[in-house]
Every structure is written in structure tokens, then in C-alpha cells.
Amino acid sequence: MSRPHQYIALVSSLPHLGKLFSRKDVPISGFRLKQRLSMLEPAHANLLREMVEVTAWAGVAGFDRDIDVIRRTNKVLADLKDFPDLQHLVGARMETRTLIAALRRRRDGQESAADIENWGLGRWCTQIRANWSNPAFGLGHFMPWVGEAHRLMLAGDHIAMERLVLTQVFDQLGHYGNLHEFDFEAVAIYVLRWVIVERWSRYNEADARARLATLVAAALDGQTEGGKTDAGGQAGRQDLFSDFTSALEGAFS
């Protein structure tokens, strides 16, 4: 099957995910999704693994230090040079992560952005440094969610905080998803959106608050829960597609 037809078949086989928070189940299981993704060209499959590695919690947990995540992300961005929309999405995810990490550091008493180049990435590092005491780092006029995230973080409302930021990420993915139909970008964007839907579907009222309190405190600050790095700053490489349900847990980080 030629690649154009191959990708038409792949995209056509992926069920509509629906609106975020609108359903408790996922329209396609991780096992089935992994099967469908076997239709990807090998080079594209590798790129998708790289994207997942720096956006999913399982991937980030393979690094001990924030600076190692930043270095790996820069490598992924370079590898995505032929896919500018995917470059932008990965970069934007890191910028969102940087903003949340900055909010948390400030809440915890850090008096300045300090060495933000070692824990942050993207366009807003200089803005954050220059406007550390501003609730939204001077970005609230065009990124109002940052000020709302500040309020929710101070209130300790982890679930509302999770919903707010996941919504921002999901909507951004949706915007770029509308620009692609039957190509690699469409598949990659679908997978990143699926990760968010699948993650939320596994929360329940009984343990959501306790679980989010632990996960958000670690993941949003770029910390890890035991992944040890090798000389290259990365834990022994795992096949992030070997088990979607566990490997992509906590993709928002």
C-alpha cells in the first residue's frame, strides 16, 4: 500500500475522540491504537515516540534533571524540522510546562526565576524572569488562563487546575489538528489528544484528589519519581508504545 493510501486508511480507522471531559470511556483502547499505529512509516513512528517521550509523564520520568528534559526536547525539536506544526506543538507544551513550574516555584516561596534556563524552555522565560511578582507574569492580557492557574494553585484546587491546563493543551492540539487530515501530523496530533482523553478517563471521584495532588506536585514541576539516567541523561530507553495504558500515563506534565 503506498504511503498516501496507507495514511488515509490509518486516519480513517481512528474513531472521533469527542470533547474533553465529555465521556468516561475512551473510544479506542491503547491496545487497538498501538495496532493501528503499526501502519506508520518507521521514521514517523520514531518521531512520534520522541514526541511522546518529552510530553508524556512516562517519558519525562526517565530523566533526573530538568536540564536533561530541556536538552532532549531541543533534540526532538530539531528532528521535527520537516514538520513545523509538530515543532510548534512540542515547543508550546514545554512553554506551558514552564509556566506551571514557575507558578509552583513562586507559590513555594522562590523569590525569583533564578536559573530559569535550567528548568524552563521557550519564549516566555525572559518574560517570567522580568515579571516574577506579577500573578500571570505579565502575560494575562493574552493568556488569561495563567492568572486563573495562579488563583487555583493558591487555592489548592488540583482538579480544577488540571482541567484548566489540559483544556488549553487539548484545544491547541485541536486547532492544529484541523489543519491536517491524512498525513503524519494528523496521526501524531490524534495520539497526543488520545493520551489526554485516556488519562482523564481513568480518574474517579474516590481517588482523584489524592492522586492529582501527588501527580501534579511532581509532574508539573518537572520532578521524577525514580527514573535514573545514564550518561546521556536518559533512563534505559523504553518502547513508549509497548503499552499505551501504562507508558503514556500522565502525559500532561
Distance CA 240, CA 123 (A): 28
Distance CA 69, CA 55 (A): 10
Q: What is the pLDDT of residues 77-115, one digit of tens each?
A: 999 999 999 999 999 999 999 999 999 999 999 999 999
What is the per-residue pLDDT for 247? 37
For residues 127-154, one letter each, b for 16 or more C-beta atoms within 10 angstroms of the residue's C-beta and e for the rest, the string is bbbebbebbbbbbbeebebbbbbbebbe
Give the residue ranges of the chain where pLDDT is below 50: 1-2, 205-206, 223-253
Concatenate the DSSP letters of all residues of 41-82 into one string.
-HHHHHHHHHHHHHHSHHHHTT-SSHHHHHHHHHHHHHHTTT
What is the per-residue pLDDT for 217? 60
What is the per-residue pLDDT for 210? 61
pTM exceeds 0.85:
no
Nearest to 148 by CA among 172, 167, 126, 123: 167
What is the per-residue pLDDT for 1? 43
Nearest to 251 by CA among 165, 180, 158: 165
Distance CA 234, CA 71 (A): 10
Distance CA 66, CA 102 (A): 13
